[in-house]
Amino acid sequence: MMEHTTGIKTLADLKRIQEEVRARISLRDKAENPESLVQVKVAMATCGIASGAKEVMEFFALELDKRGIDAVVTQTGCMGYCFAEPTVEITLPGHDPMVFGYVNPKKADEIIERYIKNGELVDGIIPQNYNTIES
Amino acid sequence: MMVTLAMHMIDIVQNSLRAQADMVTITLDERGDESFLLFRVEDDGTGMDRISLERLTDPFFTTRTTRRVGLGIPFLKMTCEQTGGSLRVASTEGEGTTVEALYRTDNPDCLPLGDLEGSLLLLVMANPAIRFRFNYRMGEEMFRFDSGDLREQGIDLQHPQMLLPVKEYIRENLEALWRHRAAASYLC
């Protein structure tokens, strides 16, 4: 598991840690197919950063790994929902992207446990796609 | 509003990424004897034409279509000027852009540095195709981080389990530099 290691100061220290990490992950059967990965995109424009997007992105990166969920955590620009920052777009394999607003680490925890793990919808979804019904 | 320099760093680097940069160089140059900190982001992106450059500090200017304001540069200008410092932006179309903000460190309004290492590593993690160079200079001493060099050395900067160790590596080296900071400096 991910414990806090102390005394990492040189490149040699980093290489040592890298070897430990490599040994650990080769034991875990990591899916190589990107279609099977959960994609998490944190909006990181001025509005997002000012509202705490960095903490949210770090939380997703560390926690998804800790909880054994194969995911790619990346960033995106402003989606126009500046009022609801930090916003996060989550794409579960085989699903349409879902955008969540007002995400802090507590909300991120709920999103992981309920939406990512079980597909349950949680509060804070921003309706992003509007489909017009043709008459 | 940005409450740390690290937040500005993420924000200004986003501009370089949107300008299709392949290499981004971030420099923090702390000069105790002259009481200033120079924060610089240099990229090899598309650059800007003269008109964009002139309107850059106008909060109602943006190239985005999702909203009508662009506050990244205006905020940076505000936080450096509030310390008695200044902002300078140079850009050449097709060559790249350099943004430079000077903060007076003898002014109590000087921003705290914030989580530089965590912010840098998230940028590195989210943009594997970009080479990030981060230099922190303190007087005669300097710490250099180069995502390209570390990758060549076999460090997997994309792996979440490397996030905390690399963070600590940068932090330890920065703290060693900060020990040389003048007592009168408001930087923290």
Condensed to tens digits (0 to 9), the pLDDT of residues B122-133 reads 999 999 999 999
Q: Is B139 on the interface with A (CB under 8 A)?
A: no
- Domain contains B183: no
Check residues A51 and A130 and name the one with the higher pLDDT. A51
Domain count for chain B: 1
- Domain contains B160: yes
- Domain contains B94: yes
Residue of chain A whose alpha carbon sits nearest to that of B3? A50
Q: What is the pLDDT of residue A27?
A: 61
Condensed to tens digits (0 to 9), the pLDDT of residues A55-83 reads 999 999 999 999 999 999 999 988 889 99
Q: What is the pTM of this model?
A: 0.92
Calculate mean pLDDT across residues B78-92: 97
Contact B166 A65 (CB under 8 A): no
- Chain A residues within 8 A of B157 when measuring between CB atoms: none
Q: Is B75 on the interface with A (CB under 8 A)?
A: yes
**ipTM of this predicted complex?**
0.92
Examine the pLDDT at A131 and tell me if it is beyond 90.
no
Give which of B7, B161, B171, B172 to mutate to test A binding, by max A Cβ within 10 Å. Answer: B161
| Separation CA A87–CA A21 (nearest Å) | 31
Nearest CB to B72: which of A11, A14, A46? A46
**B58, B67 in Cβ contact below 8 A?**
no
Contact A57 B122 (CB under 8 A): yes
- Domain contains B188: no
Nearest CB to B2: which of A6, A9, A50? A50
Q: CA-CA distances (angstroms) from residue B149 to A21, A86, B76, B133, B157?
A: 19, 32, 30, 9, 11
Task: For residue B105, give the CATH number of its domain.
Answer: 3.30.565.10
Residue whose tokens read 């506050």: B71
Domain limits for position B53:
5-178
Contact A14 B155 (CB under 8 A): yes
How many helices (H) and strands (E) would you count in chain B? Answer: 6, 6
Amino acid at B9: M
Residue ranges and CATH numbers for the domains of chain A are 31-126 (3.40.30.10)
Give which of B1, B67, B75, B132 to mutate to test A binding, by max A Cβ within 10 Å. Answer: B67
- Domain contains B184: no
CA distance B104 to chain A (A): 22
- Chain A residues within 8 A of B118 when measuring between CB atoms: 54, 58
Examine the pLDDT at A53 and tell me if it is beyond 80.
yes
- Cα dihedral B151, B154, B156, B162, rounded to 10, equals -120
Sign of torsion over alpha carbons B84, B36, B8, B44: positive
Nearest CB to A18: which of B2, B155, B163? B155
- Chain B residues within 8 A of A13 when measuring between CB atoms: 169
Q: CA-CA distances (angstroms) from residue A111 to A81, A85, A108, B61, B114?
A: 19, 15, 5, 35, 27
Q: CA-CA distances (angstroms) from residue B140 to A105, B5, B62?
A: 40, 22, 39
- Domain contains B27: yes
Condensed to tens digits (0 to 9), the pLDDT of residues A1-47 reads 445 556 899 999 999 999 999 988 766 555 566 678 999 999 999 99
Calculate mean pLDDT across residues B51-68: 87
- Domain contains B187: no
